[in-house]
A and B are shown apart, each in its own frame.
Chain A
Amino acid sequence: MGRYVIKRLLLALPLLWFILTLTFFLVRWAPGKPFRRERAIPAEIEAHLDRHYGLDQPWHVQYANYMRGLARLDFGPSYRYPDLTVREILLRGVRVSAPIGVLAYAVALGFGVPLGIAAALRAESLWVRALMGLAIVGVSTPNFVLGPLLVLLFSLTLYWVPPAGWGEGRHLVLPVLTLSAAYIAYVARLTQSGLQRVLAQDYVRTARAKGVGPCAILLRHALRPALTPLLSFTGPSLAFLLAGTVVIEEIFAIPGLGHFFVQAALNRDYTLILGIVSFTSVALIVLNVLVDIAIAVVDPRVVLE
């Protein structure tokens, strides 16, 4: 087990290097310069800024410097927020974005799994069919449509929760609801199809023939293998969740990682872009390794090699 984890993480290193290098050169090749804005600045000042940030050096020196910095978890200074380092911005952003993402995922599991179980067991019930129909609509409703509609309803019409802002618990309600809506639907459908497949298998029939009650079959025999597809979906869904937070933070004016990322992209803040991409890549790779381990723990048929 321990060896497997180490091996997986070591295999992730070349991938990480690839992403960082790709992003580094994407950003370098891009037309335009980081300090050229609509208002032109004098050439000497621009040259001075370039020299200060090491942008006048040949690209391979810049690349080596950047990589050396990364190894020390030093992402360099932000070009646009001169009094902050990229690391400080990352830490600030994560502290805001992570709770939203985790809560949204928990809400999705909390509602989606029971709904999926109900759909697998009582496929013909009218309630279940109505809810699953709603789930398809949920999948088709982009979060940037759902979010504003929820604001329109709960904030601007009913005055239950604030429409935007950050700092208090009630600011979390609408963002988490918006972000989790599509996942509830995904989770429900994955649970349903997984459970239906397991329930059709021989060992479940055997258990039933031996007189095991439906609840015991579900909880002791069927649910665990049925949830593996859900777990393997976690990797891609975390990537989507991250992308989702970008939109959510724009809509609800939340100062998280996604918000900083859009600002950095619009401002050509090279180091901040690189910092956020590398940070999210590391986070995704580590989480995916954890997911693979979790699958092996849940499903004894999977052997880690």
Chain B
Amino acid sequence: MGGMLPEGNMGAEISVAGRTWRRFRHRPSALLAAGVLIGLGLAVVFGPIWLPYGYDQTDLELGLSPPRLSNGHYLGTDILGRDLLARVLYGGRISLLVALVATVISTGIGTFYGAISGYFGGRVDEVMMRVVDVLFSLPYLFLVLVLMALFTEPEVMDPVIRLLRLPPDGAWAEWLRGPGVRLLLLFVALGAVSWLTLARIVRGQVLALKNEPFVEAARAAGAGTWTILIRHLLPNASGPILAYTVLTIPSVMLQEAFISFLGLGIQAPQASWGTLVHDGVQAMSVAPWLLVFPAGIMVLTLLCFHIVGETLREVWEGSA
């Protein structure tokens, strides 16, 4: 499908964003998915500001109220009378935040690792890629679960608090010892295990590009290894990197939800889509809306990220 797009001679000086957009805009499904994601992102970031209810505001008189327009709880309430819409939007903030931060971390590791492996080649490459093969077959989600179960204690954050020179009984320190531990651990753990595919992709790209004349020219002009990698090779590989970065987001999001669903991730009263689905499952025979709405919005988000990512991948495959 990628080949039928009008390529033509578009000149050399168009940015990656420009080139991506030129190919991307002919795909209605991908445009729709991207639009939905932007809408969801805006709703999640700004929605809670306008909502009359906080995510942790309880109203025991209105517990388990089904969705209705008349009482202002458009998606209903949970067993403690908390507004589901507020919780879904707030949970979305956490889910998206974890997914984005962990993806940025993993993209950094994967790009760095793959670029070094591809550029130096030979024995270095062999060993580094063998390590990736091996890591691929590890039960790494088990390791993340162990980490989340054992290290989410307040005192884990003490070195961080000392390092940042925060007042030990200030609001920041308190946040770090409370919900902050879990959030930071999720960032680090999920970021550290999600970079394998990207490392392979980047290595392949660098391997294919490193003997091109323009790299030769840069080297002849006296550019060092890092300059060549950062200024010349990686920008040329940025299309595929972008595609796989977008594809990493839903998989990280899924892993966060999985961990939170098992009760080892985000904890009440904080919420993520994983914990909301978990609460929904507990209540599904009496209050199906508590399962249907969080699950629906999570599936929609994952689906849209998949569609956008797959389209970017098709658009960039074989073209870089």
Residues of chain A whose beta carbon lies under 8 Å from any beta carbon of chain B: 15, 19, 22-23, 26-27, 30-32, 136-137, 139-142, 144-145, 148-149, 151-152, 156, 235-236, 238-240, 242-243, 246-247, 250-251, 261-262, 265-266, 268, 273, 276-277, 280-281, 284-285, 288
Contacts and interface: CB of A to CB of B under 8 A. Distances in A.
A243 B149 CA distance: 15
Contact of B150 (A145, A240, A268): A268
Nearest to A144: B261
A149 B295 contact: yes
A32 to B, nearest CB: 6
A250 B281 CA distance: 11
Interface of B: 134, 136-143, 145-151, 153, 155-156, 250, 254, 257-258, 261-264, 274, 277-278, 280-281, 284-285, 288, 291, 295, 298-299, 302-303, 306-307, 310
A162 to B, nearest CB: 14
A247 B156 contact: no
A140 B298 CA distance: 9
Given A32-B153, A148-B291, A247-B261, A140 B302 contact: yes
B46 to A, nearest CB: 25
B142 A280 contact: yes
Contacts of B134: 15
A280 B151 contact: no
B258 A27 contact: no
A4 to B, nearest CB: 16
Given A136-B303, A136-B306, A145 B277 contact: yes
Nearest to B250: A140
B299 A31 contact: no
A302 B156 CA distance: 48
A265 B139 contact: no
A141 B278 CA distance: 15
A277 B143 contact: yes
Contacts, number: 127
Contacts of B262: 246-247, 250, 262
Contacts of B149: 265-266, 268
B12 to A, nearest CB: 31
Given A30-B151, A139-B306, A281-B139, A262 B145 contact: yes
A19 to B, nearest CB: 7
Contacts of B150: 26-27, 30-32, 265, 268
Contacts of A242: 139, 142
Nearest to A289: B137
Contacts of A140: 250, 299, 302-303, 306
Nearest to A239: B139
A-B interface, 7 closest residue pairs, ranked by CB to CB distance from nearest: A30-B150, A265-B149, A140-B303, A140-B302, A31-B153, A243-B141, A145-B295
B258 A247 contact: yes
B225 to A, nearest CB: 30
By DSSP majority rule, is chain A's interface helix, strand, loop, or mixed?
helix
A236 B264 contact: no
B160 to A, nearest CB: 14
Give the most central of B138, B153, B278, B284: most A CB within 10 Å: B138
B136 A235 contact: yes
B295 A266 contact: no
A268 B147 CA distance: 11
Contacts of A31: 150-151, 153, 155-156
27 contacts: A27-B146, A27-B150, A31-B150, A31-B156, A136-B307, A136-B310, A140-B306, A142-B254, A142-B299, A144-B257, A144-B274, A144-B277, A145-B298, A148-B280, A148-B291, A148-B295, A149-B291, A152-B285, A243-B142, A247-B261, A265-B148, A265-B264, A266-B264, A277-B146, A280-B139, A280-B142, A281-B139
A268 B136 CA distance: 27
Contacts of B254: 142
Given A142-B302, A149-B295, A262-B145, A235 B137 contact: yes
Contacts of A247: 258, 261-262
Given A142-B302, A144-B261, A276 B142 contact: yes
Contacts of B288: 152
A140 B149 CA distance: 26
A120 B47 CA distance: 44
Nearest to B196: A236
A140 B143 CA distance: 24
Contact of B143 (A23, A148, A151, A268): A23
Contacts of B142: 242-243, 261, 276-277, 280
A152 B280 CA distance: 11
B159 to A, nearest CB: 12
Given A136-B306, A141-B299, A144-B258, A26 B146 contact: yes
A141 B250 CA distance: 11
A288 B146 contact: no
Nearest to B291: A148
A148 B280 CA distance: 9
Nearest to B300: A140
Contact of A239 (B140, B155, B264): B140
Given A32-B150, A251-B281, A265 B136 contact: no
